[in-house]
Structure 1
């Protein structure tokens, strides 16, 4: 029957399923019980049929003796011979009915009363089963009158007989049936057990062991179950379990990678803050230089350093919790995009064109720093995509435009790059999975997506074909509180 013990190493103590309580043993016992129940249901009609056949045989023998006695004139046969014939048959008396007349042929003794009359020709199945069970349980000392026709004879024969030998024969038959039923049930249960154990129980046991092993070492590729090439439900379950374990293993690997990355970033952040602080001090000293070119670049440098310091200080906070909620204000979007252009470092004489098509008076309700981060990440991805094209005749243009529909602002970031591959589209906003270039992390789009969602907006890919990729940023205005709106409409008395 195989070893049914299963150990759970992931708990504080070993947990096993004893063989006596395993599925295999339960299956064997239940199969044997069900077969025995079927045999019990068959037993009642079987023993009833045995009883009727036993009585029919005695009546047939009595009929043969009756014919012999009639042909040889029974008075010529001695009393001793008649008694010997009746004793050998277990019969007390034999009679024949012919033409409406009944005649006693031979009798060893005439009982004072008859306990049961049995008409073999008119005994139905239900009556036969009831009388058979009655004889089997309560019989043994009753006198029976059995009558009926034998073969094609028009004569009706009857005999008076004790049910003692009948009950003994029925008990012997019942014992044999019980032993045979037990053997059949055990044999059938064994066959069913081995068949179902090989088809179902063993695969289920293997899946259980695989789950327990996987829970102990989810990073071990050997703990993933190897599904069998089966087309039934067990095969489907094994394949689904294998796929689930593989997906979970990949997810755990990504989580570990994120944890390692967070630790590395935290270490880098500690030293980066000191470097940025030194850079801030030097930018302050640059502000004292009278050169016009330096004076035009210092404000942009100061803003870039301030943002870098802010991002660096927020790294650890982000690792502990999530991004801070946006501090929303009314912004002039064109000026914000100009700041982004300065951070990107696009040279005017370079091969990549940058077009800021936003109206100077266009306003948006957003967090300034977070919006800069969103646009910077999207624009850097576009620049990296277009930088891969080395042919000089290819147009490389990054365009940012905006439109307003009621209280909803929409920013479009479009480039003339090669477009996103299918794999990048399937995992567009997933960290470490949505990168469009080799070696990329996909963090830029993931961060941008999270920041836009924090504003209650959406970030989506509108179009991506060869020569045109468009991202859409949709940010709704903050809802106006009714009490504040009413107070602003009130006129002073």
Structure 2
């Protein structure tokens, strides 16, 4: 039982509800007893006035004397009064009873009684149990009389207050139990059970994230619980997608590991032939051989980087001053043959130098240009244009095309691995790798805008000085 109340949210909620209702009842407990005492004294005052009128106006031969005596006994029984007297012209007129021998503990003058009860007197009367009287002074309804005074045992008043407190306590417990049960059942349905289902779902997802449990659609509740359920549903979908991508990356790494040896042998043969071609007597053939050599060497480097990427070992960039326009010109030459119908423009001056790894920068720009050219396949006026803007210590390179734009379905996850746009033949790794390479060189790669009129990426890299001027 102790473990249930210490670990169960519903049990804590039940105890808190019951306790708060009792606390509210406790705050009303003392004022209600004080008002009950005040009402009791006022009732005795009214009764005293009525009995005084009845007894003072009769004569000894009055046939209703016997009835008046019965009324007097009933008055003393209901009010617990032992003595009642009237004061007129300095004289005391005994109406009922004889002056008692016990002392008078307190006096209450109801002629100038305010609306608020006397809490201190209430406390004194509540705990009164022995001998002693309360002297009650009230206005007399009989003309010519100054006042009426009556003596009521304090123990009788205390007994009434304690009996009333017992009834209030019992009623408070019943109200607390009833209201607490209603609030508990409401909170159980609105909060506790949804949170418990969400906790069970989290536990099941933690133990087997790849396993899909049968569940209905996301909650349509508009409160915080509904928002939490919908957010967790989205988190599960995102994480499962990430797990699938991780598995595909692991499979890719395994495949690249298996074919890397054979691929390097093929590229080594191609590199040997390119070297021989670069030593040809014909200058044009020699130039083509040198370009082919650089391309094959870049292919060898790419296979090694893909292997390192799939095995979670990222290549460290070797930063050096790089003339940005020269790298863009190399990208123009490399892609001109593959995409002859796409015009690639270079508006970058020769005085723009950045701090970057030349091979990794070439890879980033080549990926962006190739993606744009592939998206414009079949388009007669395809254009890709490079331009720069220097902001503080950063060179912002714009890569802008006039293609069809990116689909809305991939715009939010564009830089995630295996996210493909219009090109179905790509692996979807280009932009993910490019963004990672840019960040490792201290820069950034972002999508600026996309739409039916084209797409614009911005590549930011650190500005550096021209080393030829130093």
Query: How many positions carry a matched residue from both structures?
Result: 460
Match of 1:177 among 150, 153, 168: 168
Match of 1:266 among 242, 249, 257: 257
1:325 aligns to 2:317 (yes or no): yes
**Contact 1:352 1:398 (C-alpha < 8 Å) held by counterparts:** no
Instruction: Give the 3 Å change call, closer, same or farther, for CA 456–127 of structure 1 in structure 2.
Output: closer
Where 1:116 maps in the other structure, the secondary structure is strand
Match of residue 9 from structure 1: none
1:31 aligns to 2:17 (yes or no): yes
**In 2: Cα distance, 1:286 partner to 1:117 partner:** 126
1:70 aligns to 2:59 (yes or no): no
**Contact 2:317 2:357 (C-alpha < 8 Å) held by counterparts:** no
Where 1:326 maps in the other structure, the secondary structure is coil
Q: Note the C-alpha offset of 1:195.
A: 1.7
TM-score (norm 1): 0.74
Residue-by-residue CA offset, 1:245-265 (whole Å, 9 max, x unaligned): 333333333333333323332
Instruction: Give the 3 Å change call, closer, same or farther, for CA 30–75 of structure 1 in structure 2.
Output: farther
Residue-by-residue CA offset, 1:114-163 (whole Å, 9 max, x unaligned): 33222223334655332222111134411232231366866432223323
Residue-by-residue CA offset, 1:407-429 (whole Å, 9 max, x unaligned): 98787766664454455555554
1:119 aligns to 2:122 (yes or no): no
1:144 aligns to 2:106 (yes or no): no
**Contact 2:368 2:431 (C-alpha < 8 Å) held by counterparts:** yes
**In 1: Cα distance, 2:350 partner to 2:58 partner:** 139
**In 2: Cα distance, 1:190 partner to 1:184 partner:** 10
Q: Note the C-alpha offset of 1:327.
A: 4.8
Q: Which moved more, 1:259-268 or 1:449-458?
A: 449-458
Q: Note the C-alpha offset of 1:63.
A: 4.2
**Contact 2:388 2:395 (C-alpha < 8 Å) held by counterparts:** yes
1:237 aligns to 2:228 (yes or no): yes
Residue-by-residue CA offset, 1:169-196 (whole Å, 9 max, x unaligned): 3222222221111111111111121122
Residue-by-residue CA offset, 1:198-257 (whole Å, 9 max, x unaligned): 222222222222222222233334387854322223223322333333333333333333
Q: Note the C-alpha offset of 1:466.
A: 5.9
Q: Note the C-alpha offset of 1:29.
A: 1.8
**In 1: Cα distance, 2:112 partner to 2:409 partner:** 84
**In 2: Cα distance, 1:403 partner to 1:23 partner:** 59
Match of 2:422 among 436, 451, 460: 436
**In 1: Cα distance, 2:458 partner to 2:77 partner:** 109
Instruction: Give the 3 Å change call, closer, same or farther, for CA 262–74 of structure 1 in structure 2.
Output: farther
**In 1: Cα distance, 2:57 partner to 2:397 partner:** 124
Which ranges of structure 1 fall in alignment gaps of 5 or more residues?
Answer: 5-15, 489-493
**In 2: Cα distance, 1:280 partner to 1:244 partner:** 48
**In 1: Cα distance, 2:449 partner to 2:220 partner:** 42
Match of residue 367 from structure 2: 377
Match of 2:209 among 218, 229, 233: 218
Q: CA RMSD in A?
A: 4.5
Residue-by-residue CA offset, 1:358-401 (whole Å, 9 max, x unaligned): 89977856544334323432342243233334xxxx34566678
Match of 1:128 among 91, 95, 118: 118
Instruction: Give the 3 Å change call, closer, same or farther, for CA 245–19 of structure 1 in structure 2.
Output: farther
Q: Which moved more, 1:158-167 or 1:295-304?
A: 295-304
Match of residue 184 from structure 2: 193
**Contact 2:25 2:172 (C-alpha < 8 Å) held by counterparts:** yes
Q: Which moved more, 1:418-427 or 1:167-176?
A: 418-427
Match of 2:240 among 239, 249, 257: 249
Match of residue 18 from structure 1: 4
Q: 1:439-478 alignment to 2 at 5 Å?
A: 439-456=425-442, 478=464
**In 1: Cα distance, 2:237 partner to 2:440 partner:** 32
Q: 1:294-305 alignment to 2 at 5 Å?
A: 297-305=288-296
**In 1: Cα distance, 2:455 partner to 2:57 partner:** 119
Instruction: Give the 3 Å change call, closer, same or farther, for CA 405–102 of structure 1 in structure 2.
Output: closer
Where 1:18 maps in the other structure, the secondary structure is helix
